[in-house]
Each structure stands twice: as C-alpha cells, then as structure tokens.
Amino acid sequence: MKKGCKYGTHRVIEPKGVLPQAAKIIDNTMDIYDNEILIDVKALNIDSASFTQLKKANNNNEEQLKQGILDIIEERGKMQNPVTGSGGMLIGVVKKIGSKLQGKIDLEIGDLIATLVSLSLTPLKIDKINEIQMSIDRVDIIGSAILFESGIYAKLPKDMDERLALAALDVAGAPAQVAKMVKPGDTVLILGASGKSGMLCSYEAMKRVGPTGKVIGAVIDEKSKQQLEKLNLCHDIIVGDAKDSMFIYNSLVEITNGQECDIAINCVNVGDTEMSTILPVKDNGVAYFFSMATSFTKATLGAEGVGKDITMIMGNGYTKGHVEITLAELRENKELRDMYEKIYVNREAL
C-alpha cells in the first residue's frame, strides 16, 4: 500500500499545500493508502446550514437536490457546500483497514461507525442516492468514503436506533461545549433552542446552571415554543426572528430585569444572526457560535462596533468526551429521547 499523510494531504489535488478541508478538489479514488480506512457508506447527515441552503437553491425539489449533491461531489471529490463551506457526517460499515492501522485501532471489518469529522474533508463517492429525507437533512446512499488516520469516529451504540444516534452525533460538539462552559448561576441564551443542536444544548445548560441560574431559549414560532415548554428545556422563551438583534436583546433584558447574559449560544441554521448572539452578552462573557452559517467577519467587526469585550468561540465539532456526553443526554432524559425518535426515527412532523 502507498504511504499517506496522517492528515490526508496526499489526497489534495488543488490547491497544493493546504489540508483536505481547505482544498477545492481532493482525490476520491477508493484505493486506500496504508493509513486510511475504507467505509461502505449508508447515509450522509448534511449539516443544517448547508442543507437549508441547498434545499432553497434547488427549489425544495428532491430530484434537483439529488443532482446538486452529485454535482458537488463530482467537482470536489467531497461533500462540501460551495456556499457555506460546510459538510456534515456519515455512517457506514468498515470495509477495509490500511496496513499501518491494523491492530492499532479499535475497529474491525464490519463495524458500523459514524465519522466525527466533516464531509467537507472526506473523500466520497456516491454510486446511487436512494432517498433524501428532506425534513431531517439525511441522504440515504450507496457509496464509499475514506477516513484518514487523524479522523475521529464512534462505533454506533447498541442501545439506540442508528438514525437516532446519527442525529445526535451530528451535533455532539455543541452540548459537550456547553457542558464545559456553563457554570452554576449563569444566565444562558440559546438561539435556535428548538433545533437538533439547540434542544441538546438547552438540556445540558439546564443541568449546569442549577437552581440559581437561568436558561433562555429563542425560537422562531409558537409551535417551537410549545415544544420546548413540553420538554421543560428552558426557564424562559423568546419567540421571534433571530436576525432581529435588537428584538432579541430587548427581550432578554426584559426577562432578566435589565441584566445581560453570561453566555449566548448560536444554534440557528441561517446567517445574519451574529449580533443577536453578541449584543445580549455582558462584558467578559462568552458568545459561542455553533452555527455553520456564522460569518467570522460579521462577528468580530460587529463586536468591535458595539464595544463588546467578550470571548467569541467558533464552534468546534469536536471536544473531548463529546460522544459520551451527548448520548448520555438521550439516555438520561426519556422525553427528550422520545422527541428525537419521533423526528429522526419515526419521521413524524411536529
């Protein structure tokens, strides 16, 4: 077998000198190098910001969307939305393990895994798209992918449906970061609190703030508010457009009797919500942008423009223990797990 770079740079075609995520084109031939893992892919979970943009660009037409996805992979060798720059993740069965990795990793041929690195850096080939599940950002395919030596993964748990595990693991970085950041007594704002990552973040924040803290969710409509209330995932809920920064700010300080929040967490899947995340945060607080629709320029210059001395964290999909923390949430909270099963397993409309 040919020797490869730990980080997959041997797959970069254009431009040379960058890593696979930043590359415009990568090599997606499925002859593996000595430090790669070949996966028979069952499904892709496109990240929410990317999938929302792709649906809009293809007029919410499934056949057009199928072709759009195939065109991206044909051009780039990977599933990286050229507009958002983001990808998603996949589940599949281990088909082949490179000679350098054999006996050194906890995988065997036939293991069902979820990759925990972005599709925006993963060499991918699709033979056929069987179905696009439009409501849950999932694409069921027949295809193959490559996982690099540095790539992280999780064996799918045996105590939950693979569709449930995939949905949770797709956003595992967010609730795990919340677990690290939020302290007892904090006031936390979560934008997009009724979404896939938002509900998990809300649950984790409620655990962490304790009886002296407060979790405030922001959602787009009354239906989403009722969903959060039913699950008891927030103390207070703001209903409105997350793009309207002054509305979000004024609503929060009204709830908190004039106080700003310690931490704001952005889980929305549309752009132009940077200032709704920054404005409500008090000096020395934290704004955490998990949304892949976030503009670094808008966030940094926006914070400067309103004189906010805050720490801004761009969402990292990986933090130590993120798989265990996220799956534990579903095991701990039956109502939350039932909701996720309703959406991502049974595919029932809310």
Domain assignment present for 291: yes
> What are the tokens at 95?
């088909």
76 & 213 share domain: no
The b-or-e profile of 27-58 (16+ CB within 10 A means b, else e) is bbebebbebbbbbebbbbbbbbbbbbbbbeeb
pLDDT on residue 123: 98
Tokens matching residue 231? 């699950």
Are both 145 and 229 inside the same structural domain?
no
Q: What is the pLDDT of residues 40-91, one digit of tens each?
A: 999 999 998 899 999 999 999 999 999 999 999 999 999 999 999 999 999 9
Would residue 331 count as lying in a domain?
yes
Residues 190 and 122 in one domain: no
pLDDT bin (cut points 50, 70, 90) of residue 316 is confident
Instruction: Tell me the pLDDT tens digit for each residue of 5-37.
Output: 999 999 999 999 999 999 999 999 999 999 999
Domain boundary among 156, 190, 217: 156
> Cα separation of 35 and 11, whole Å?
12
d(CA 124, CA 132) in angstroms, rounded, equals 17
- 59 with 206, same domain? no
Residues 55 and 18 grouped into a single domain: yes
Q: Is 103 exposed, middle or buried (0-12, 13-18, 19+ CB in 10 A)?
A: exposed
101 and 148 inside one domain: yes
Q: What is the mean pLDDT of residues 167-187?
A: 94
Q: Which domain holds residue 92?
A: 9-156
Q: Which of 130, 156, 182 is the last residue of a domain?
A: 156
Residue 226 domain-assigned?
yes
Nearest to 265 by CA among 346, 197, 345, 172: 197
Res 229 pLDDT > 70: yes
Q: Are residues 95 and 195 in the same domain?
A: no
Residue 350 has pLDDT above 60, yes or no: no
SS (H, E, C) 312-343: EEECCCCCCCHHHHHHHHHHHCHHHHHHHHHH
Q: How confident is the model at residue 315 (pLDDT cuts 50, 70, 90)?
A: confident
Within this chain, do residues 274 and 143 fall inside the same structural domain, yes or no? no
Q: How many structural domains comprise the chain?
A: 2
Do 288 and 203 lie in a common domain?
Answer: yes
Residue 237 · residue 254 · CB < 8 Å = no
CATH number at residue 335: 3.40.50.720
